[in-house]
A and B are shown apart, each in its own frame.
Chain A
Amino acid sequence: MPAKVAEEWLNICGGCEVSILDIGDPLLGLLPQLQFVHMPVLMDHKYFGQTGEGTTLEIPQADVGIISGGVRNEKEKHVAEAMRQSCKTLIALGSCACFGGIPALANMWKLEELYEKVYRGSKTTEPAATPNQNLPPLLDSVKAVDEVVKVDAYIPGCPTAPEIIVQALTAVLEGKPFTLPERSVCDDCPVKREKKASGGTLKRPLEDISVKQGEPWENTRCFMEQGYLCLGPVTRAGCATGTEAEGHVKVPRCIKGHMPCRGCFGPIRQGANPLVDMMGALTSIGLDAKEVLDRRALLNRYIGGQNRLRPLPQKPAGGR
């Protein structure tokens, strides 16, 4: 009997659903084992009965629940709670569900400040009142799913890697736990490291990164040592892949695309704070952490939930 799967998207762009499709051929092997009973992105299944006759939010019983996206408003909180009740195992899919994701950058400001900026403060916007009719109220911050309900397995990534979805789904279907190893992206990265920056100041990722094309990765210098801010040292491993054509050399995805790691897999272990850890990583190879523009946001780009980003405390007017 196929396992029943309920999938729900909350505060999200939809990229992680595309990642499910991106599984490609292995998806055909998985499909006979899966029966989708609820999936707003694919099927028309309403929360309050098909004609709106229901009075309570209903999600069909399922063996596996997948939630992508963080929790931004009361409706999403409600849906997440209903998913938890209906599903035996709950998987958080993507960085938004795991850590709050890009939308959680908004946690750096208070709600009133956001409303002010979006509806009145921006030059290109005609000032208007904050809409409050027929809309679910926003929560005070963008939350990761596990701040609202218990989550059994995490699949981070922005968007997440199809291979990991397959691994996680297979593990869950077999009743095994799924966790990524507590290693850093650097542990999976094959580039050459000399433990010292090549000198100069921090560069922006749009400037040319020197990559020895067509040669083994061992001949390319570590991007961070070249002076680009790479979040590899403080980011969890798991995205590295190596196809047959590439000689099975595992390379983290962004590195393979000649870009430094952006940290979408989140902190290496629970409770770690990449913002603090990155300071050490930068200074230990001789780069100046002062030069990182917009440090708080950049080093918390995908992980602003779970209280990592919050409005800075107001300075008291005077001491007491």
Chain B
Amino acid sequence: MRIVVVGASLAGVRTVEALRRRGSDADVVLVGAEPGSADGVAADRPPLSKAFLADAAVEARPLTDRERLGALGVELVHGRAVDLDRDRRRVGLHGGESIAYDRLVVATGSTPRTVPGLEPRAGVWTLRTAADAAAIRAAAPEGARVVVVGGGFIGAEVAWTLHGLGRSVALVEPLPALMVRGLGPELGAALTRRHAAAGVDLHMGAGVAALEGGDRVTGVRLTDGALLPADLVVLGLGTVPETGWLASSGLDLRDGVVCDERLAAVGAEDVWAVGDVARWRHPRAGEDVRVEHWTNAVETAGVVAANLTGTPTVHDAVPYVWSDQLGARLQVFGRVRPGDELRVVVGDLEDGFVAISGSEGRLRAAVGFGALKALLPFRKLLLAGAGWDEALAAA
């Protein structure tokens, strides 16, 4: 049995580690192509928009290396997969070589979204890799004027981190508030007010008309005509799953590799997916989801390793994401879905708070900001599948 894991970031690395921990004696190959990495293995990403971005003295933490993989009996191949031949069970690599597999685990993650006119060029960056973060830090010396385009978690964290370094930071987001997709409009608005109060120059509900400047960006022109001068532009427009190399594979690709509850690719019992690239039927949510969070990468690795070592397992975890900004920790368990009811159950939105959201009589999400202790009971209720009334009664 030969298991090939394509993608050497968190989900892929944790998959090969979990396979060995579960006693798999298969030949295991890990294929990595992380840009800027000497061996193709990625660094742990959460610090890249936080401590690593803020401080050149903080070192990136590689998720593993050739020596540690060797000790596990895992072969590391530094190469980029460019296609998949499922009939011959081979992964084609850039340069013409190919690797045979009996079981394939797709762990190629996601890549920053760009839109026409908003592509990286001199002074314009996306943030995915340690190399990206180091470049952004180097491009934002004292006195630099930064414009962040996109107000999701990454955009808000980058803005906060660079603001904390004393840089002049403007943030442009077409939606009315920050982090609306992750937090819903009410909580997003509350944190938006706090970013504004702290001195981040927010342009909510604004679109980008054009990037100004020739070879090197000099500013961002908004759709309302305003011009934001910029020495540096950071694009935080979300990510898209890295499935280009699977285009001719015949796999069902719809915003990710479509998988069943066990993370097996639909219609292909020998192909599995982990991390950002996997779209699966979530048993608890009852819908197909794709989750781009750190914790999901770890959990999916464990699920696929279990399935590949003879323990049938479904991926039914409650999603968890955290963010460090505004001097506190934001924690989201579950998903705040559009239209779900929201209730602040502890504290208030101008200070530390816990909020819950739900629909159809179910508790769906619990969100805490600077309020871990108060969040704990609601997280427990969420894990237990509690009803909305039960959750309100616990407030």
Q: Do A and B bind each other?
A: no
List residues of B whose CB falls within 8 A of some A CB: none
